[in-house]
Amino acid sequence: MSTLDRQDNNDVADERLVTSGMGLRLELFVEDMGESVSFYRRVLGFEVVREERGDYASLRSGDIMLGIGPIAKLPETGGYFTRSIASQRRGLGVEIVMEVDDLSAAHRRVLDSGHPVFEPPQQRPWDLWDFRIVDPEGYYLRVTSRAQETGE
C-alpha cells in the first residue's frame, strides 16, 4: 500500500470518527463501590464527576468516562446484566485500555499508591509501551502510551 493510499484510508477513518457522533463510557458493576471509586481516584487519578453514595458514581480522566454501579442494584432476572452474571468473574474477556500522555508518570503513580502492577512497563510488538494492572474487582486494565502521529 502506498503512502497516498494510507493517507486516503486515514482520511476516511478520521472522517468517520468526526461524523459518527459517538463517544464511549464504560460502566463497571462492582461489589464494593467505595473501594472501586477510591481505587480509580487514588491509583489512576480519576475525578468524581457525580456520586450518589452506594448507588452510582461517574468518574472522568481526560476523555475517559467511567460509571461505577453496585451489583446489588441490578435485577435478579430479566435483561443481560443480572446480579448472577455480574457476580461471576468481572470483565472476563475484556481488556480496558487507557491511553496516557506520560506512561512513566502513570506507572509511578500506581507504584506510589502501593497497588500491585500485574505486568511492568514494556514495549509491545505494535511499538507502544504499556503496563497492566487489575482493579480491586478483577477488571483487567492496560495503561498504554499513545500512538505517535506520523504526519504522513
Q: Which domains are seen in the chain, by residue range?
A: 3-145 (3.10.180.10)
What's the CA angle centered on 82, arms 50 and 31, to 5 degrees? 50
Question: Edge to edge, what strands does the sheet with 47-52 contain?
Answer: 25-30, 64-70, 56-61, 47-52
Euclidean distance between CA atoms 61 and 143, whole angstroms: 13
Which one is predicted more confidently, 7 or 72?
72
pLDDT in tens, 36-62: 999 999 999 999 999 998 899 999 999
pLDDT tens column, 136-148: 999 999 999 988 7
C-beta separation of 25 from 77 below 8 A: no
pTM of the model: 0.80
